[in-house]
A and B are shown apart, each in its own frame.
Chain A
Amino acid sequence: MAGCSGSNFSSGPYIDVRVEYLNECENRLKKLFRQALLFFLEEEANGKPLPVILGNGKKVNLFKLFVFVCEIDGFDSVSWNGLWELVAEKLGLDSSVSPTLRLVYSKYLNRLEKWVMENSRKVKLEDPVVRKIGSYVGLLHELGFGLKSFLENGKRQKRNRAVALGCKNIEESHHRKKLRHDNNNEGVGTSCPVVSDASVVCLEQQVDIPEMLKWLTSVAISPHDPSIGVIPHSWKWKKFTGKEYYIQVIKAKNALLLQRHNAAVRFTYSPLMGNLTVHPSMYDDQRPSLGSLRYSTRNPKVSKHQSSGREVIAGTCRATGLQVPKQPQFPRRNVGVGPRYQAVVDEWTEPGLESDSKWLGTRVWPPLENNEAVEDLVGKGRAKSCSCDTLISNSVECIRFHIAENRMELRRDLGDVFFHWRFNQMGEEVSLRWTEREEKKFKMMMISNPKSLWKNAARLFRGKNREELVHYYFNVFLINRRRYQNRVTPRHIDSDDDSESFGSVGPSYGRSAVTSPDSDIMICSQNSQCGEVID
Chain B
Amino acid sequence: MRSKDKISYFYDGDVGSVYFGPNHPMKPHRLCMTHHLILAYGLHSKMEVYRPHKAYPIEMAQFHSPDYVEFLQRINPENQNLFPNEMARYNLGEDCPVFEDLFEFCQIYAGGTIDAARRLNNKLCDIAINWAGGLHHAKKCDASGFCYINDLVLGILELLKHHPRVLYIDIDVHHGDGVEEAFYFTDRVMTVSFHKFGDKFFPGTGDVKEIGEREGKFYAINVPLKDGIDDSSFNRLFRTIISKVVEIYQPGAIVLQCGADSLARDRLGCFNLSIDGHAECVKFVKKFNIPLLVTGGGGYTKENVARCWTVETGILLDTELPNEIPENDYIKYFAPDFSLKIPGGHIENLNTKSYISSIKVQILENLRYIQHAPSVQMQEVPPDFYIPDFDEDEQNRDVRVDQRSRDKQIQRDDEYFDGDNDHDAS
Q: Which residues of A contact B (CB under 8 A)?
A: 45-47, 272, 283, 286-288, 330-331, 333-336, 340-343, 345-346, 348, 351, 355-366, 373-375, 377-382, 384, 399, 402-403, 405-407, 410, 414, 420-423, 425-428, 450-451, 453-454, 466-467, 470-471, 473-475, 479, 482-483, 486, 490, 493, 495-496, 498-499
> Please, which residue of chain A has its CB at the minimum distance from the CB of B115?
A361
Contact of B25 among A331, A466, A496 (CB under 8 A): A496
> Please, which residue of chain A has its CB at the minimum distance from the CB of B29?
A474
> Please, which residue of chain B has its CB at the minimum distance from the CB of A375?
B45
Q: Report yes or no: A373 in contact with B100, Cβ–Cβ below 8 A.
A: no
Q: Report yes or no: A406 in contact with B40, Cβ–Cβ below 8 A.
A: yes
How far is it, in angstroms, between the C-alpha of A490 and the C-alpha of B335 when the chains are bound?
9
Q: Report yes or no: B45 in contact with A373, Cβ–Cβ below 8 A.
A: yes
Q: Beyond A340-B140, A475-B329, A495-B333, is A379–B322 a contact (Cβ under 8 Å)? A: yes
Q: Beyond A333-B205, A382-B338, A496-B27, is A483–B332 a contact (Cβ under 8 Å)? A: yes
20 residue pairs of the A-B complex, CB under 8 angstroms, read: A47-B85, A272-B185, A331-B207, A335-B181, A336-B139, A342-B184, A345-B189, A358-B53, A361-B53, A373-B45, A377-B45, A381-B321, A381-B326, A382-B338, A399-B331, A470-B17, A471-B16, A475-B329, A482-B333, A495-B333
Q: Report yes or no: A287 in contact with B16, Cβ–Cβ below 8 A.
A: no
How far is it, in angstroms, between the C-alpha of A365 and the C-alpha of B10 when the chains are bound?
10
Given the complex, which residues of A lie within 8 Å of B10, measured CB to CB?
361
B50 contacts chain A at the CB level, 8 A cutoff? yes
* B266-291 near A? 1/0 per residue, CB < 8 Å: 01000000000000000000000000
B392 contacts chain A at the CB level, 8 A cutoff? no
Q: Report yes or no: A420 in contact with B51, Cβ–Cβ below 8 A.
A: yes
- What is the distance, in angstroms, from A524's C-beta to the closest C-beta of chain B? 20
Residue pairs across A and B with CB atoms within 8 Å: the count is 229
Given the complex, which residues of A lie within 8 Å of B27, measured CB to CB?
474, 496
Q: Report yes or no: A373 in contact with B46, Cβ–Cβ below 8 A.
A: yes
How far is it, in angstroms, between the C-alpha of A382 and the C-alpha of B89 when the chains are bound?
51
Q: Beyond A420-B51, A483-B332, A496-B300, is A426–B32 a contact (Cβ under 8 Å)? A: yes
Q: Report yes or no: A381 in contact with B333, Cβ–Cβ below 8 A.
A: no
B327 contacts chain A at the CB level, 8 A cutoff? yes
A-B interface, 6 closest residue pairs, ranked by CB to CB distance from nearest: A381-B322, A361-B50, A427-B329, A377-B42, A365-B49, A382-B324
- What is the distance, in angstroms, from A37's C-beta to the closest C-beta of chain B? 18
> Please, which residue of chain B has its CB at the minimum distance from the CB of A328?
B213
Contact of A361 among B8, B89, B332 (CB under 8 A): B8
How far is it, in angstroms, between the C-alpha of A272 and the C-alpha of B51 when the chains are bound?
35
Q: Report yes or no: A341 in contact with B140, Cβ–Cβ below 8 A.
A: yes
Q: Report yes or no: A348 in contact with B376, Cβ–Cβ below 8 A.
A: yes
Q: Report yes or no: A498 in contact with B369, Cβ–Cβ below 8 A.
A: no
Q: Report yes or no: A379 in contact with B321, Cβ–Cβ below 8 A.
A: yes
- What is the distance, in angstroms, from B331's C-beta to the closest C-beta of chain A? 7
- What is the distance, in angstroms, from B209's C-beta to the closest C-beta of chain A? 6
- What is the distance, in angstroms, from B332's C-beta to the closest C-beta of chain A? 5
How far is it, in angstroms, between the C-alpha of A399 and the C-alpha of B210 when the chains are bound?
53
- What is the distance, in angstroms, from B198's C-beta to the closest C-beta of chain A? 14
- What is the distance, in angstroms, from A442's C-beta to the closest C-beta of chain B? 13
Q: Report yes or no: A403 in contact with B331, Cβ–Cβ below 8 A.
A: yes
Q: Report yes or no: A482 in contact with B207, Cβ–Cβ below 8 A.
A: no
Interface of chain A, helix or strand or loop or mixed?
loop
How far is it, in angstroms, between the C-alpha of A380 and the C-alpha of B323 when the chains are bound?
9
> Please, which residue of chain B has its CB at the minimum distance from the CB of A276?
B215
How far is it, in angstroms, between the C-alpha of A423 and the C-alpha of B330 when the chains are bound?
12
Which residues B330-346 have CB closer than 8 A to chain A?
330-333, 335-336, 338, 340
Q: Report yes or no: B326 in contact with A426, Cβ–Cβ below 8 A.
A: no
How far is it, in angstroms, between the C-alpha of A365 and the C-alpha of B326 when the chains are bound?
21
Which residues B317-376 have CB closer than 8 A to chain A?
319-333, 335-336, 338, 340, 369, 373, 376
How far is it, in angstroms, between the C-alpha of A283 and the C-alpha of B215 when the chains are bound?
9
Q: Beyond A342-B140, A496-B27, is A333–B207 a contact (Cβ under 8 Å)? A: yes
Given the complex, which residues of B lie within 8 Å of A428, measured CB to CB?
329
**Could you say which of B157-165, B379-387, B413-421 contacts chain A?**
B157-165
Given the complex, which residues of B lie within 8 Å of A351, measured CB to CB?
121, 161-162
Q: Report yes or no: B161 in contact with A360, Cβ–Cβ below 8 A.
A: no
B249 contacts chain A at the CB level, 8 A cutoff? no
Q: Report yes or no: B185 in contact with A426, Cβ–Cβ below 8 A.
A: no
How far is it, in angstroms, between the C-alpha of A471 and the C-alpha of B16 when the chains are bound?
8
How far is it, in angstroms, between the C-alpha of A477 and the C-alpha of B36 when the chains are bound?
18
B405 contacts chain A at the CB level, 8 A cutoff? no
Q: Report yes or no: B51 in contact with A426, Cβ–Cβ below 8 A.
A: no
How far is it, in angstroms, between the C-alpha of A382 and the C-alpha of B205 when the chains are bound?
44
> Please, which residue of chain B has its CB at the minimum distance from the CB of A398?
B327
Q: Report yes or no: A380 in contact with B322, Cβ–Cβ below 8 A.
A: yes
How far is it, in angstroms, between the C-alpha of A26 and the C-alpha of B171 when the chains are bound?
59
Q: Report yes or no: B45 in contact with A374, Cβ–Cβ below 8 A.
A: yes
Q: Report yes or no: B52 in contact with A361, Cβ–Cβ below 8 A.
A: yes
How far is it, in angstroms, between the C-alpha of A495 and the C-alpha of B181 when the chains are bound?
35
How far is it, in angstroms, between the C-alpha of A403 and the C-alpha of B326 when the chains are bound?
9
> Please, which residue of chain B has its CB at the minimum distance from the CB of A423?
B36
B73 contacts chain A at the CB level, 8 A cutoff? no
> Please, which residue of chain A has its CB at the minimum distance from the CB of B35?
A421
Given the complex, which residues of B lie within 8 Å of A358, measured CB to CB?
53
Given the complex, which residues of B lie within 8 Å of A427, measured CB to CB?
329
Q: Report yes or no: A382 in contact with B100, Cβ–Cβ below 8 A.
A: no
B186 contacts chain A at the CB level, 8 A cutoff? yes
How far is it, in angstroms, between the C-alpha of A314 and the C-alpha of B118 when the chains are bound?
53
- What is the distance, in angstroms, from A329's C-beta to the closest C-beta of chain B? 12
- What is the distance, in angstroms, from B105's C-beta to the closest C-beta of chain A? 12
Q: Report yes or no: A366 in contact with B13, Cβ–Cβ below 8 A.
A: no
Q: Report yes or no: B11 in contact with A421, Cβ–Cβ below 8 A.
A: yes
How far is it, in angstroms, between the C-alpha of A362 and the C-alpha of B183 when the chains are bound?
30
Given the complex, which residues of B lie within 8 Å of A348, measured CB to CB?
160, 164, 188, 376
Given the complex, which residues of B lie within 8 Å of A272, measured CB to CB?
185
